[in-house]
Structure 1
Amino acid sequence: MLQTLAVSNYRSLHDLVVPMGALNLVTGDNGSGKSSLYRALRLLADTAQGGVAAALAREGGLQSALWAGPGTLSRAMLQGEVPVQGTGSGDPVALRLGFAGEEFGYAIDLGFPVPYRSAFARDPQIKCESIWAGPFLRRSSVLVERRGPVLRRRHGRQWEIVDDRVSMFESVFSHPVDPQRMPEVLSLRETIRAWRFYDHFRSDADAPARQSPLATRTPVLAHDGRDLAAAWQTIVEVGDEEGLAAAVEDAFPGAEVLIEGGEGRLFLKFQQPGLLRPLSAAELSDGTLRYLLLIAALHTPRPPPLMVLNEPETSLHPDLLPALGRLIIAATARSQLWVVSHSSRLVAALRESPLCNPIALEKQMSRTTIQGQGLLDAPAWYWPDR
């Protein structure tokens, strides 16, 4: 389980260190930085997929994603006694992301390349990466580090250079490594790749979830829900069928979900009390469809180490939110959860859990902070040197 998430110089996240628990509930006003924190998690996930530079390009490039304020905000600036102005520190441009758990920690530092003639001269370079043992970065706990093109590993009390020609535009997770020499790289890469993100399932008339998927075992619901019927049937056959039915009953008393097959495809049917026939996925209301998608996602037979739900309350009737809260809380027995929400009713339901770790964001001088977190309250965090 992740214990700490750290972000520096990414959009409004100038210098944020977030403590993490089993159920992390991110709230805040519009513009407080919830989406930026969510995107930072997505960028960390992209490092293990080899696409962090491409992900930044989709956001408008590194220049667009960087913190636009001064390097240091003095107390006088925060209190409005003096105008906000640059500090002239001369520090190099650095967008840094990292996390730490009980076993391993990881950090990446991205910056601009040294000026040279190229059509890709503004493409971000990876200046530094570090993998360490335990929840805190110490020089003695570093297992693998990469500075520029040089990748090395700790071998006993010495450092061994693994490669001195690593691409400056790809993470160490994209580099071919010997599992015997650097097992922690492979272990951490597979862990990050297993993180799962669900962000605004479509529910319009042409939504993928309203289609009939091929009849193939599906232990993990697709991010767009296109294989809902197959994922549901997989849970029935190899997962928690009783928990699945109980989740439907909790939200829709007396209702039942049926999966029918034909011509190599699966069809989801929703039977409700008082109806002479079940409704197909194409006939379901937006809220009912989205709720069934969330049930399937949270009852996966292959639970991820981290599951991220971005505004899961979208399109749901307020009366469904207490049941959704119970559904999410129950899922913490299988995965670490990260939930971003605007709904006061869902927030209230989730905060009933003793495992809930509330993260209330706010803006101070355009900089995202955590409400109530003083200088001594943030978890210990140290960035690796370039």
Structure 2
Amino acid sequence: MALITLAVSGYRSLRSLVLPLERLNVVTGANGSGKSSLYRSLRLLADVAQGQAIASLAAEGGLRSTMWAGSSNYSTAMRSGRSPIQRNIGRGPMSLRLGFASEDYGYAIDLGLPIPEPGASREEPSLFGDDPVVKAEAVWAGESLSRRNVIARRGNASVSVQDGSGRMRPVVTDLAPFETMMMRAADPTNAVELLLLRERMRGWRFYDHFRIDRDAPSRIPRIGTRTVALASDGSDLAPAVQTVREIGNGPAFDGAIEDAFPGSSIEIDAANGLFRLSMRQDGLHRPLDASELSDGTLRYVALATALHTPRPPELMVLNEPEGSLHPSLLEPLARMIAKASERSQVIVVSHARTLVDALCDHGAQALALEKENGETIVANVEVPPWAWPDR
């Protein structure tokens, strides 16, 4: 099911952002407007389903370094410039909140810092004292959380799930503060909705770092097996292309290559289990090995492979796919992305005006990020209804 709302609060420049989502979306804005923060917040949501959200935050420098550092409230005078911005982040609890609503279910999580237990030894504090802990979680039916549509809710160490009679009953009572109910409470008997939502989130795909350097794994022969989803770094490119041709829509993939490089085609050879990719181009007497392809050509082939996956995910996110591409490739890329959005919901983060305009011509919703007093905002967008779970 497609996401209809994305909500982020307290993450870097995203003080309080609630966005409507369509089938095809393009996020754009000037450098420093918050595009990367929005992309990372989506990845953090996916990490929740993998049990990696806290580790991912630690890799970014910890919760304190990733949280909104400005004012917690802006008055009308502050926004108009008649009054200076007052830093008052310390007046309330530190909180990083992430959530989404899809066409059937919604999910939200609230992360904060641990509160020292009464009587805890000051001489031997926990070495994990700066790790974030889960303060609240909820799953609901519909586009916005309310008291009437809660399916599962976390309260301290307990997770309660709605049973067949509509009553909330506990299914887990010993949840650790650093564990999410997605990881501990999802099971096919007591919390099938949690299990379904977790598996759907695990299926989201993110592409932001295809290896295209001289030593990229995709440039050399590699052992290959059937590959229904291209790796995020493109390392299994050759077997992924062959998988598209054998169990996916090979003619559509070949057509996308022809659209971008007229008279060209991709060839896959296998010897002793090693798969090799090459490209035959009009006018050349031999195909060019992957090691000979330009960075932009290799990136485009990887994008074409990801977008023609034989197992399309519910959500695919592309972060600045225009990198290394010649401007002439942006129109074909937009056509390819638009076609892929018929099978998967797609979010593209880009600052390439040609690509943004071309995607909008294909019906994409443009979400233009701006900075106002250090805060990322999106003007001229109708904010969907949204409510965060109580701590």
- Same fold (TM > 0.5): yes
1:73-99 per-position Cα deviation (integer Å, ceiling 9, x unaligned): 111111211111135883221110000
* CA apart distance, 1:178: 3.3
Structure 2 counterpart of 1:382: 387
Aligned AA for 2:390? Answer: D
1:202-234 per-position Cα deviation (integer Å, ceiling 9, x unaligned): 211011221222131111101111111100001
* CA apart distance, 1:159: 1.9
Of 232, 236, 245, the match for 1:227: 236
Question: Contact conserved, 1:76 with 1:82, CA < 8 A, in 2?
Answer: yes
Q: Secondary structure at the match of 1:126?
A: strand
1:240-279 per-position Cα deviation (integer Å, ceiling 9, x unaligned): 0110110011000010111111111111110001111100
- C-alpha distance in structure 2 between counterparts of 1:215 and 1:57, whole Å: 34
1:95-120 per-position Cα deviation (integer Å, ceiling 9, x unaligned): 10000011100000001101253111
Structure 2 counterpart of 1:329: 338
- C-alpha distance in structure 2 between counterparts of 1:349 and 1:280, whole Å: 31
- C-alpha distance in structure 2 between counterparts of 1:177 and 1:368, whole Å: 34
* CA apart distance, 1:138: 1.2
Query: How do 1:140-179 residues align onto structure 2 when only pairs under 5 Å count?
Result: 140-155=148-163, 156-179=165-188
Q: Does 1:262 align with 2:271?
A: yes
Question: Contact conserved, 2:161 with 2:171, CA < 8 A, in 1?
Answer: yes
Question: Contact conserved, 1:95 with 1:109, CA < 8 A, in 2?
Answer: yes
Runs of 4+ that moved beyond 4 A: none
* CA apart distance, 1:197: 0.3
Aligned AA for 2:350? Answer: S
Question: Contact conserved, 2:299 with 2:324, CA < 8 A, in 1?
Answer: yes
Q: 1:164 to 1:286 in 2, by over 3 A?
A: same
Query: How do 1:115-264 residues align onto structure 2 when only pairs under 5 Å count?
Result: 115-116=116-117, 117-155=125-163, 156-264=165-273
Question: Contact conserved, 1:200 with 1:311, CA < 8 A, in 2?
Answer: no
1:152-184 per-position Cα deviation (integer Å, ceiling 9, x unaligned): 112224221112210111211211543122100
- C-alpha distance in structure 2 between counterparts of 1:176 and 1:182, whole Å: 7
Question: Contact conserved, 2:104 with 2:141, CA < 8 A, in 1?
Answer: yes
What percentage of residue pairs aligned between the two structures are identical? Answer: 52
- C-alpha distance in structure 2 between counterparts of 1:88 and 1:295, whole Å: 45
- C-alpha distance in structure 1 between counterparts of 2:316 and 2:353, whole Å: 21
1:314-372 per-position Cα deviation (integer Å, ceiling 9, x unaligned): 00000111000101001011100000011111111101112x11100000000000022
Question: Contact conserved, 1:211 with 1:226, CA < 8 A, in 2?
Answer: no
Q: Does 1:357 align with 2:365?
A: yes
Query: How do 1:280-291 residues align onto structure 2 when only pairs under 5 Å count?
Result: 280-291=289-300
The number of residues matched between the two structures is 382
- C-alpha distance in structure 2 between counterparts of 1:178 and 1:226, whole Å: 33
- C-alpha distance in structure 2 between counterparts of 1:255 and 1:158, whole Å: 61
- C-alpha distance in structure 2 between counterparts of 1:321 and 1:368, whole Å: 27
- C-alpha distance in structure 2 between counterparts of 1:118 and 1:87, whole Å: 28
Q: Secondary structure at the match of 2:93?
A: coil
Query: How do 1:59-78 residues align onto structure 2 when only pairs under 5 Å count?
Result: 59-78=60-79
Question: Contact conserved, 2:70 with 2:89, CA < 8 A, in 1?
Answer: no
Question: Contact conserved, 1:200 with 1:314, CA < 8 A, in 2?
Answer: no
Question: TM-score scaled to structure 2, two decimals?
Answer: 0.96
- C-alpha distance in structure 2 between counterparts of 1:89 and 1:73, whole Å: 15
Unaligned runs of 5+ in 1: none
Q: Does 1:47 align with 2:55?
A: no
Aligned AA for 1:107? Answer: A
Q: Does 1:58 align with 2:66?
A: no
- C-alpha distance in structure 1 between counterparts of 2:60 and 2:220, whole Å: 31
Q: Secondary structure at the match of 1:345?
A: helix
Query: How do 1:73-88 residues align onto structure 2 when only pairs under 5 Å count?
Result: 73-87=74-88
Structure 1 counterpart of 2:378: 370
Q: Secondary structure at the match of 1:274?
A: coil
Unaligned runs of 5+ in 2: 118-124
- C-alpha distance in structure 2 between counterparts of 1:69 and 1:269, whole Å: 51
Question: Contact conserved, 2:159 with 2:185, CA < 8 A, in 1?
Answer: no
Question: TM-score scaled to structure 1, two decimals?
Answer: 0.97
Q: Secondary structure at the match of 2:225?
A: coil
Q: Secondary structure at the match of 2:188?
A: coil
- C-alpha distance in structure 2 between counterparts of 1:177 and 1:304, whole Å: 21
Structure 1 counterpart of 2:120: none
